[in-house]
Amino acid sequence: MKRKKIHLEILRIIAIYFVILTHTGRRGFTYYLGLEPSFRYFLTMLVPLICQICVPLFFMITGATLMGKEEAPGKVLKTRFTRIVLVTVLASLMMYVYYGLRRDTPMSPVHFLESLYSRNVIAPYWYLYAYLGLLLLLPLLRKLIRNLDDREMMYLLLLHLVFSGVIPMLQYRLSGGALTLNSSLKVILATSDIVVFPAAGWYFEHRDLSRKQIAALWGLTVLALAAAMYMTHYKICLTGQTGEGQVGTFYKSLCLIPTVTVYATVRKLTAHRSLPATAEKLITTLGSCTFGIYLIEQILRERGWPIRDLMARWMPDILSTLLYVGLVLMAGACITWVAKQIPGLKKLI
């Protein structure tokens, strides 16, 4: 691993931490829903808002690492696409059998194949299908993204913010959901995560932002989080609904801003600094294990809840969850590192 790329490994670690935290439900991700409006309520509401950067960060890393390569469509399909298809099948089969045995539910090859094709065997595996879509478009995205100049890139990112964030927020605030933009007015290129975030990754990987620009991004991040927080609370007050699937409408609306901010900040902080060899080795090892952690974190997280509940006896609930997520991450890294020593698995995970 080249030292100049250490920021990508740090970003992978940040992203996988927030992936795990996203799946903690009322113990962490939506902990705020169990509180009355207060400083603590709004402070813990930041958890689901900040967690939204996890998958976009992975997409940005993909843009930074893959957009500059020269590969024919056939090679992408033969190597990258086939690998993820194989991972999807094997990981889904592992989870299908695991939950089938644990819950003592009927299993069959036909049911598994139906689940594999039409649904996600477990909810977090939606990302594998999204990534497969990105890989199918990769040869085209490379041509598009690499030929955008600065003004065109800013236009793409601005369109994303307007149509994914500003318009939905304004129309809901003004009409409570009764008024929506005409569905025929679509800017799919600008609202698709598998286009915008890889494009942002490619762009900001090749731009050295100044400290003032980084500071400006953090200012925008504070505003974006405040807007998402306000709209989330407004919807809860308006509808009275507090289900996890109902309150998250505006979590991700402006997440492009904090995602780019974190990416640019980590890159800036590591650009001209040399880490101690031990620290760099630990970071690169953890970073190389993030895909494997993602594939198995649900099992580790669910099986380890008693540990988190024990920790919660000695510290605040939300803090115990934040620390527990770190333990799950490290356990997943250890298992993945061992698995990567098995011939054949290293190339898959």
Burial 113-130 (b: 16+ CB within 10 A, else e): eeebeeebbbebbebbeb
Give the integer Cα–Cα distance in Å for 343 and 81. Answer: 20
Q: Which residue has the higher pLDDT, 52 or 106?
A: 52
Question: Are the CB atoms for 293 and 15 separated by under 8 Å?
Answer: no
Give the integer Cα–Cα distance in Å for 152 and 156. Answer: 6
pLDDT digits (tens, 9 = 90+) for 111-170: 999 999 999 999 999 999 999 999 999 999 999 999 999 999 999 999 999 999 999 999
Question: Are the CB atoms for 229 and 42 separated by under 8 Å?
Answer: yes
Q: Percentage of the chain surpassing pLDDT 70?
A: 99
At residue 4 the predicted structure's pLDDT band, cuts being 50, 70 and 90, is low
Count of structural domains within the chain:
1
Whether the predicted pLDDT of 274 surpasses 90: no
Mean pLDDT of 27-32: 96
Burial 203-230 (b: 16+ CB within 10 A, else e): bbbeeebeeeebeebeebbeebbebbbe
Alpha helices in the chain (DSSP H): 6-22, 39-51, 54-66, 73-75, 82-103, 109-118, 126-146, 150-161, 167-175, 188-191, 193-205, 211-239, 256-271, 277-288, 290-303, 305-311, 317-339, 345-348
pLDDT at 2: 43
Distances in Å between the Cα of 115 and the Cα atoms of 91, 104, 144 are 13, 17, 34
DSSP summary character for residue 35: S
Q: What is the pLDDT of the chain when averaged over all its residues?
A: 95
pLDDT digits (tens, 9 = 90+) for 80-102: 999 999 999 999 999 999 999 99
Q: Which of these, 145, 134, 138, lies nearest to 76 by C-alpha position? A: 138
Angle at 129 between CA 128 and CA 130, to 5 degrees: 90
**HSE-up (13 A, CA, CB side) for residue 133:** 11
pTM of the model: 0.95
pLDDT at 142: 96
Mean pLDDT of 206-210: 94
Give the integer Cα–Cα distance in Å for 166 and 305. Answer: 38
pLDDT digits (tens, 9 = 90+) for 45-55: 999 999 999 99
Residue 34 gets the label, from left (phi > 0), alpha (psi -120 to 50) or beta, of: alpha
Whether the predicted pLDDT of 19 surpasses 80: yes
pLDDT at 61: 98
Give the integer Cα–Cα distance in Å for 88 and 348. Answer: 10
DSSP summary character for residue 183: T
Give the integer Cα–Cα distance in Å for 274 and 283. Answer: 13
Give the CA diameter of the chain.
Answer: 59
pLDDT digits (tens, 9 = 90+) for 254-266: 999 999 999 999 9
pLDDT at 275: 87
Mean pLDDT of 3-11: 85
Look up the domain containing 225 and give its range: 3-178+186-348
pLDDT at 121: 95
Q: Which residue has the higher pLDDT, 328 or 4?
A: 328
Whether the predicted pLDDT of 3 surpasses 70: no
At residue 245 the predicted structure's pLDDT band, cuts being 50, 70 and 90, is confident
Whether the predicted pLDDT of 311 surpasses 70: yes
